[in-house]
């Protein structure tokens, strides 16, 4: 541990003064940005947005990293957790010329700075926080908690990269950040880069002190040493900040490079401790000491906009002018508004600027995966549909193992999972790459490897953050997890969907590999784990996001799962959820048929229906592995008991194909939709998730009221698979009864048959309550074709 309370020398004051001045100007000014005239109310923006409190500390970090790059040639990527400190990042990007590189209108001149100030927090300009439109960024920071795990993901398999990560002390209170500190135990010093966290301890969140501000140096050191870090505590609350932090950054870099050199020479210590910095700084440094009798600088009153009434209140306007002139802008910018040489002296060479870091636009670094052929892994169906059984995820695991081997030298494919790879029958991958873990394990363990590319931890937040950082820096990955607990990262997925949507609107950003969730241990087969494990809501959450960046897939068997994953691992710019079963089950489509089915998104299975090539009187549709089985079993009942019924059987694998094409890019054309579902035919639709999700997609289609959707209706407990289906009205018997209601036959005939099916369902439920298991009539059913 290094503790510093006094600066060793005067820091790069002209640079930090200029950056702090610009950051404050961006928050407050729309004109007269260099104060060449007396400040007047019309120079101040009508809406004052942004967070000043963290800006001076962010600039201190940025300046220290510039020195590190210049003196050590470090390859630095910056992840900034306090996203509302964007004014500081913009100021540094403008000073280093990165903004001008992407847009000449933001040149390093007075007019360019004026344009930047006008765009900040303006319609169609830059938002108040970081976003994809800001060069050099791969994390928005709009929702706190995810910066550190994202930084670790960016460092994986990039041995020369240093990812600096600013974590606000308010953000450090979040659960995701608490878990992310453990990432040191997964970061291999040989094959990976390094993460240098800065806990920005300026003492306050929005209206009260932070938890970390109440901890002394001894407590902070003990905490972070336990996590696996080697903390350096730097106090920059004095009058001349900068030099102590710069010295600590150089010292930390020397230490982490020494650790990497020793590890790469075979001398990896038992518990490698990575350097980190705890930066004590003055909240909102430079702001007025007090406003209207309320202390501002160094308190939470500087967290957002310290002078919110500067446009209307003459006293606040005067205070603002005094504050801005205290930076002496006339010394920092020449007559044309260009930064003077003394300001720019501390910058690295143009090719090494933080804002120009190539990994921050990872789509430009991305290489397509060497996807193995599917044929050797496909399940053959020698006797037609239903003639073979297989575990879809076990079949996929073999293909993923081959992909993992094919990327061993490239090291650009990883799997993250909450300790569920073996449970979900994907453990074939472990023969190709072990579970990543660096610290020694004293107890019995299997398949651990320091350089493993499977990352398992019981923190879905870490998995999500690691994978986002990995994908955003140009690599590929997969996130298998239990379906019910994918919802833990609902909010992270929301934020990432917004990032991807906005990235599409930034002309200079290249798309990155899609983020794909493989949702296994689906709710319909979690009857033994109970109600807590029965939840398909993650699909509904994704469907609420922008259709251009989301997809939902429900492959009904192993071959369709293979085809789906081959497509999605080659795709860019999206978030996808794939639901797949892990238990041995009947297989329905050969590989060629699976390709055609997945290409269409939804199709008629003529072998399952009774309409033949003629007109249908009703449609039995399904989406999902278990719904497919129950729908086929219902079709089997009706073929036997009502052979004159003309029923069309439709299976949907790409759920978003149901949406109109003007609402989702996968949406079927009206003609294609009519071919499947007719214009006025009744449709009984058995869906894997909540019925409302299908109704949502069907909005805008003709006659949506004719779709009668069955699905999970939040009824569950520890029971048997058939009983769980019955509780939600989705058994084969329920589906057959529902379809009978929409057929044009003598009422008494249909009623007798419906009563028979309902009665049989109730008999089966009584039997399973007596035996504790589903009857053979259910477990032994096979497609008769």
274 within a domain of the structure (yes/no): yes
User: Within this chain, do residues 610 and 548 fall inside the same structural domain, yes or no?
Assistant: no
**pLDDT tens for residues 722-771?**
999 999 999 999 999 999 999 999 999 999 999 999 999 999 999 999 99
User: Within this chain, do residues 430 and 541 fall inside the same structural domain, yes or no?
Assistant: yes
| Residue partners of 384: CB distance under 8 A and separation at least 6 | 607, 785
**pLDDT tens for residues 764-775?**
999 999 999 999
385 within a domain of the structure (yes/no): no
User: Within this chain, do residues 409 and 441 fall inside the same structural domain, yes or no?
Assistant: yes
Contact 120, 90 (CB under 8 A): yes
Q: Which of 529, 550, 585 is the last residue of a domain?
A: 585
Q: Is 532 left (phi over 0), alpha (psi -120 to 50) or beta?
A: alpha
Answer yes or no: is pLDDT of 592 > 80.
yes
CA atoms within 13 A on the CB side of 110: 14
Q: Which of 529, 560, 585 is the last residue of a domain?
A: 585
641 within a domain of the structure (yes/no): yes
Q: Specify the higher pLDDT residue, 524 or 6.
A: 524
Contact 730, 711 (CB under 8 A): yes
533 within a domain of the structure (yes/no): yes
**CA separation for the pair 102, 381 (Å, rounded):** 55
Percent of the chain with pLDDT over 90: 95
User: Within this chain, do residues 617 and 695 fall inside the same structural domain, yes or no?
Assistant: yes
Q: Mean pLDDT for the chain?
A: 95
Number of domains comprising the chain = 3
Contact 419, 582 (CB under 8 A): no
**pLDDT tens for residues 385-413?**
999 999 999 999 999 999 999 999 999 99
Q: Which of 585, 620, 642 is the last residue of a domain?
A: 585
User: Within this chain, do residues 567 and 696 fall inside the same structural domain, yes or no?
Assistant: no
590 within a domain of the structure (yes/no): no
User: Within this chain, do residues 630 and 670 fall inside the same structural domain, yes or no?
Assistant: yes
Specify the pLDDT at position 170. 93
**pLDDT tens for residues 602-611?**
999 999 999 7
**CA separation for the pair 275, 248 (Å, rounded):** 10
**CA separation for the pair 489, 465 (Å, rounded):** 10
Copy the structure tokens of residue 320: 């603002």
- Domain extent at residue 332: 2-345
594 within a domain of the structure (yes/no): no
User: Within this chain, do residues 404 and 268 fall inside the same structural domain, yes or no?
Assistant: no
In 585-632, DSSP assigns E strands to 585-586, 602-604, 618-623
Question: Reduced to 3 states, what is the DSSP secondary structure of residue 618?
Answer: strand
**Interhelix angle 490-503/460-472, nearest 10 degrees:** 10
User: Within this chain, do residues 662 and 686 fall inside the same structural domain, yes or no?
Assistant: yes
Q: Confidence band (pLDDT; 50, 70, 90) for 530?
A: very high
Answer yes or no: is pLDDT of 218 > 70.
yes
Q: What secondary structure, in 3-state letters, does 16-84 show? A: HHHHHHHHHHHHHECCCCCCCCCCCHHHECCCCCCCCCCHHHHHHHHHHHHHHHHHHCCEEEEEECCHH
Find, among 204, 214, 155, the residue nearest to 57 by Cα: 204
Specify the pLDDT at position 611. 79
Contact 239, 286 (CB under 8 A): no
Specify the pLDDT at position 442. 85
**CA separation for the pair 292, 314 (Å, rounded):** 12
Q: What is the pTM of this model?
A: 0.96
Answer yes or no: is pLDDT of 471 > 50.
yes
Specify the pLDDT at position 349. 95
**pLDDT tens for residues 638-684?**
999 999 999 999 999 999 999 999 999 999 999 999 999 999 999 99
User: Within this chain, do residues 168 and 31 fall inside the same structural domain, yes or no?
Assistant: yes
359 within a domain of the structure (yes/no): no
Q: Where are the alpha helices (DSSP H) in 181-328?
A: 217-227, 243-264, 314-325
User: Within this chain, do residues 579 and 641 fall inside the same structural domain, yes or no?
Assistant: no
Contact 435, 454 (CB under 8 A): yes
Answer yes or no: is pLDDT of 777 > 60.
yes
**pLDDT tens for residues 53-86?**
999 999 999 999 999 999 999 999 999 999 889 9
Copy the structure tokens of residue 523: 């709710």
Answer yes or no: is pLDDT of 11 > 80.
no
Q: Is 242 left (phi over 0), alpha (psi -120 to 50) or beta?
A: left
User: Within this chain, do residues 560 and 611 fall inside the same structural domain, yes or no?
Assistant: no
User: Would you call 9 exposed, middle or buried from its count of C-beta atoms within 10 A (0-12, 13-18, 19+)?
Assistant: exposed
Answer yes or no: is pLDDT of 9 > 80.
no
Copy the structure tokens of residue 522: 């689906």
φ, ψ of residue 585 in degrees (nearest 5): -155, 165
Question: Reduced to 3 states, what is the DSSP secondary structure of residue 682?
Answer: coil
| Residue partners of 547: CB distance under 8 A and separation at least 6 | 656, 659, 663, 664, 665, 666
Contact 77, 161 (CB under 8 A): yes
Positive or negative: CA dihedral 80, 82, 88, 94:
positive
Find, among 557, 555, 572, the residue nearest to 514 by Cα: 572
Answer yes or no: is pLDDT of 6 > 70.
no
157 within a domain of the structure (yes/no): yes
User: Which CATH number goes with the domain that contains 764?
Assistant: 3.40.50.920
Answer yes or no: is pLDDT of 8 > 70.
no
In 495-615, DSSP assigns E strands to 515-520, 550-553, 575-579, 585-586, 602-604
**pLDDT tens for residues 698-716?**
999 999 999 999 999 999 9
Instruction: Provide, for the chain, the percentages of residues in helix, strand and coil under a 3-state DSSP scheme, each rounded to the nearest 5.
Output: 45, 15, 40
Specify the pLDDT at position 420. 86
Specify the pLDDT at position 612. 74
What spatial distance separates the first Cα and last Cα of the chain, rounded to whole Å? Answer: 72
User: Within this chain, do residues 572 and 618 fall inside the same structural domain, yes or no?
Assistant: no
């Amino acid at each position: 541990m290094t503790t510093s309370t006094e600066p060793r020398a005067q820091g790069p004051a002209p640079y930090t003064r200029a950056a702090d001045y610009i950051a404050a100007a961006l928050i407050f000014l729309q004109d007269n940005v260099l104060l060449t005239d007396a400040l007047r109310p019309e120079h101040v923006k009508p809406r004052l947005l942004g967070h000043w409190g963290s800006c001076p500390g962010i600039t201190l970090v940025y300046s220290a990293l510039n020195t590190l790059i210049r003196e050590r040639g470090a390859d630095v990527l910056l992840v900034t957790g306090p996203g509302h400190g964007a004014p500081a990042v913009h100021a540094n990007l403008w000073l280093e010329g990165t903004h001008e590189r992407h847009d000449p209108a933001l040149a390093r001149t007075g007019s360019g700075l004026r344009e930047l100030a006008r765009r900040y927090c303006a319609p169609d300009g830059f938002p108040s926080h970081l976003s994809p439109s800001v060069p050099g960024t791969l994390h928005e920071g709009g929702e706190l908690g995810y910066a550190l795990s994202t930084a670790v993901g960016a460092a994986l398999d990039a041995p020369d990269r240093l990812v600096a990560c600013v974590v606000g002390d308010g953000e450090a209170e979040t659960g995701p950040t608490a878990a992310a500190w453990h990432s040191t135990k997964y970061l291999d010093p040989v094959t990976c880069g390094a993460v240098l966290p800065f806990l920005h301890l300026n003492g306050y969140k929005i209206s009260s002190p932070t938890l970390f501000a109440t901890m002394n140096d001894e407590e902070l050191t003990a905490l972070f040493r336990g996590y696996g870090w080697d903390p350096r505590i730097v106090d920059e609350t004095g009058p001349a900040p900068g030099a102590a932090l710069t010295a600590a950054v150089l010292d930390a870099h020397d230490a982490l490079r020494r650790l990497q050199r020793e590890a790469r020479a075979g001398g990896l210590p038992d518990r490698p401790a990575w350097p980190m910095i705890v930066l004590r700084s003055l909240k909102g440094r430079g702001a007025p000491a007090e406003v209207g009798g309320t202390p501002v600088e160094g308190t939470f009153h500087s967290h957002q906009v310290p002078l919110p009434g500067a446009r209307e209140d003459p006293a606040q306007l005067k205070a603002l002018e005094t504050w801005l002139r205290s930076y002496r802008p006339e010394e920092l910018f020449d007559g044309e508004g260009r930064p003077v040489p003394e300001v720019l002296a501390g910058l690295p060479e143009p090719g090494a600027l933080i804002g120009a870091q190539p990994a921050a636009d990872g789509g430009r670094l991305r290489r397509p995966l060497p996807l193995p052929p599917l044929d050797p892994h496909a399940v053959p169906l020698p006797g037609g549909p239903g003639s073979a059984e297989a575990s879809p995820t076990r079949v996929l695991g073999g293909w993923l193992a081959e992909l993992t081997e094919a990327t061993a030298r490239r090291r650009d494919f990883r799997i993250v999972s909450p300790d569920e790879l073996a449970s979900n029958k994907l453990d074939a991958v472990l023969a190709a790459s072990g579970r990543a873990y660096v610290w020694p394990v004293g107890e019995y363990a299997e398949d651990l490897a320091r350089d493993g590319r499977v990352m398992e931890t019981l923190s879905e937040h870490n998995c999500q953050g690691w994978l986002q950082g990995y994908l955003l820096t140009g690599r590929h990955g997969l996130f298998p997890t239990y379906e019910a607990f994918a919802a833990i990262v609902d909010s992270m997925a929301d934020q990432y969907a917004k990032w991807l949507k906005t990235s599409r609107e930034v002309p200079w950003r290249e798309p990155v590999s899609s983020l794909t969730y493989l949702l296994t241990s689906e709710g319909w087969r979690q009857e033994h784990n109970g109600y807590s494990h029965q939840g398909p809501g993650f699909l509904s959450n994704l469907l609420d996001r922008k259709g251009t960046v989301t997809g939902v897939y429900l492959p009904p068997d192993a071959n369709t799962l293979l085809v789906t994953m081959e497509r999605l691992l080659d795709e860019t710019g999206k978030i996808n959820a794939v639901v797949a079963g892990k238990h041995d089950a009947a297989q329905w489509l050969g590989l060629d048929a699976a390709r055609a089915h997945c290409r269409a998104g939804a199709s008629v299975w003529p072998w399952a229906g009774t309409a033949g090539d003629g007109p249908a009187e009703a449609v039995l549709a399904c989406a999902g592995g278990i719904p497919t089985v129950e729908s086929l079993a219902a079709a089997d009942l009706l073929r036997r008991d009502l052979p004159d019924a003309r029923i069309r059987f439709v299976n949907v694998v790409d759920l978003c194909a149901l949406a109109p094409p003007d609402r989702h890019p996968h949406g079927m054309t009206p003609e294609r939709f009519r071919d499947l579902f007719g214009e006025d035919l009744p449709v009984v639709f058995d869906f894997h998730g909540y019925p409302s999700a299908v109704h949502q997609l069907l909005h805008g289609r003709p006659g949506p009221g004719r779709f009668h959707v069955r699905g999970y209706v939040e009824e569950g407990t520890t029971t048997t698979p058939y009983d769980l289906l019955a509780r939600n009205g989705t058994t084969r018997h329920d589906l057959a009864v529902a379809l009978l209601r929409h057929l044009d036959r003598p009422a008494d005939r249909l009623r007798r048959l419906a009563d028979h099916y309902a009665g049989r369902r109730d008999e089966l439920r009584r039997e399973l309550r007596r035996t504790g298991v589903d009857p053979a009539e259910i477990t032994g059913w096979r497609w008769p074709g």
